[in-house]
Structure 1
């Protein structure tokens, strides 16, 4: 930093302010310092900075698995949001039998400034011992006074999916649910059931999957055998499996069976037929989770949780029902 200061003709404090993105540097001076840094090949040394400030500018991320689309999309969103704020990311994945408390301890040993817990791992977080001083934001969780949370409006999204199908004229809607223990799956299933009950519609037996297309295909076989005419799937991957199973059973979508998913993955518009689905905004979720955590790291107080709205995206896998034509 002394070399940079000498090359740019400024004080060492000015270089420090530029490195730390302080607003107390005029644009011309900042440009001169950045040019000197580029010329000399200067890079901030994280370890040295951590010794001086007590912070590593590293965020921990705890996730049960990266095999699901939702978790991998959230990882990308969190990584992008962290990088935009100058934070590195350390990821810890859990086996289903792992103790999340051990994951917290590993992150503390690595000196993270705080941590974010994603989706299925949040159930373990609610009962875990959280190390003293570890700032924590949980994505998709019931309220807990030990941490703040941000979540998709799963119930609102599921309600919009079921109401869409009922408004098209379907007498009831079957549900391919996510795995037990998942906060998101539970919220979507409960809203499906409550929406049908409020409309006076019959509530069919729940068909349960594990988020994978293969489990959706297995549920699709049961849907085809049941004579179902409309189905709401708890994610798009399972909806993809349902579409395949229905096609193999000779049940046409949407002419004989309407299908709605949840997530709006990048390929949902390319399914055959293009999938009507509930879009959850992973980018906003990741951004809000990181913003809330950085706010806590900076000493800010947060006394409320946040909820991110969903949007129903209507495509060709649903249509107005015409029972006379059946």
Structure 2
């Protein structure tokens, strides 16, 4: 008998390494698509149900699309996918990484608070007292219900002797107000302009509540009314010649939304420049978007933050500015 010996050949190590670069192509492609979506979001058209604005409203949350991919890449033992994941991570970090750090500083000359108080707020007086406790010199309120206005006036009367209510928006101040008037952005009054005479000089203050938006299957992102009002508000701001301007309110849109470009071309976001985190303000129970804004020009934001929840479905937003 002749004995035979079988030789078992193991896969070469280079072949295994080559396989790690061939596996996970679908995961890698998905990672690249997420990066492209972030980079090219201005190219997403608005003619199809305002899809571009809807994407930009929740743009920071695109980072969540990347979260399950590292686990998938490890399961597939794919070096290609792991390397590809760096692309959306770097792009997201370039867009939003700066917002993760606390940029608040000390000092400042004027503290402003803005709050959509909700016309169904069960405790207007308690909400007003909570806002006053912030120490703000100027408090702006949106979505005021006519029958509830006296409750806000009574709660703020002692600390804020100067105030004006125009339609569904109002402003309360520790400093004198003058030349207060409504700003026509809709058929009924949802915006005002006033001048706050601070000890260090006047500040033009605008308070606005832009029309609501919805997401509907038959119409997409219903933002056309909001966008039209945004243009009228931007025109009013452009006509203001004061060297210092503060614009606050509920914009039903984020600073990343292209629809706010008529505003953001002239004014800058206090939260983006001097905040801590993203400053999401709506909905109050689980904030997903910052639709309540404080924009400024001619002053320097020192700090910006959100206040604790009140009886509203929005969180109050606050900012300190220096002249």
TM-score (norm 2): 0.30
More helix by share: 1
More strand by share: 2
TM-score (norm 1): 0.30
Higher Cα radius of gyration: 2
